[in-house]
Structure 1
């Protein structure tokens, strides 16, 4: 029976066999990916990246060009008649000094960069001294600093700091009101625009995520000393030896008995005794303060050392 069915199958024509059994064996189309299709995608991807880089470069150049135009316009505003600043009334001179302070106060070189910070300091001195021509010459240097202010991430921060200082100084010029032909108001207007443009200079997220190193500064009037563990330990050693010195001096004064004090009259004796007590109190207080400073500086050095780690 099996042999008969097999022979019957063999006797069937190929066309009938395929048509009669086509429903049992459906044809599944096979799609073989062609690797040649990846080449145009890759080239398109590269073109997109190159276009984005070119667009970013053109955008940065456009920003630099706009900043240079604004700063050039600001420099033109400072081309004033000779001795213009010296002829200002006293209250306006005070406002000009305030503008100089807002432009260069604090650590200007650290915030705005060495070159820009030095220029701002010189401009501030020119305003304080009411030197109109010197001020114009220095402000004319600002457009040349645009490239260094926007060239990298750190410089982007410099541009931001410079912009904030210029906006603050522009408010001082604006507060001067109308004077002469309105030169001060024009300076305020253009300086404010330039400052805001600098403040909007893009800074990448990488630059913003950089950890800020906290530095402690000890100030004595105009003297500023950065505190480090080494300097703190050195100060503790100096305080220790100074405490020993003042202790020895106070002990030497105390060893002098009051009975050994002989003077011509009672007033002189009373004066000598009061002077002795004053010296003892001064040197004992110095000893105590030296010990306190020594301990405090040692603790501060240890704290600074642990933060550095």
Structure 2
């Protein structure tokens, strides 16, 4: 029989496995980015070809260059007439419109992130409360935002308050439902083990229920933020300037299609960035998720 491998050999093999895994992840990530870049280039090329050939009128589909020029113009100043200088669009740069929408999202969704988990924990822990509130929660979740935007305008006016409420109502149900599912998904043997070791109700909630619920909660927040961001255009239909959704709506009414498409692209990129940030925060808060 040969000699058993030395501990140093085991360590070397483990390090090699880890290095190969990291190298494989980098390769997959590079291939994914390369594929996305190729698809983007092909899409822009087809877009340019269609507009250059005149198959679709510029009113309906402006060229990529026209969209880029509209984007640049919305973030710069230009001279109109003899001595008049105009900056941005609708008296604001596009980045100011985007910041205004993000500020509305942060208030409406932020309140939902604070209240949603509290309500979800209570509904998951108290059966009669869940029975009383669940039908109304599902009713609110099923309502499209445009269905009650008019009522919010009557109640709170055309200012930011009605927009905060609309975004809050869009984000609140997904967070509550995700919290309920997370609490109910906690393994009972983990709770019993903690109680058998003398943990109080508060300690069980903090060290067992909360960590187990976090993955579901973060997933619910991702869904809520995405849904609220798609609602931003509806929230900014009335007095939505400054606001990226309001700018998209106004430019569409003025048949400024290039600017409308530029706004749509910015809205989409902002949504992707928000989702990536939340996903990264989720990885930091629950690094064990999917690995244990």
TM-score with structure 2 setting the length: 0.28
| Structure showing greater Rg | 1
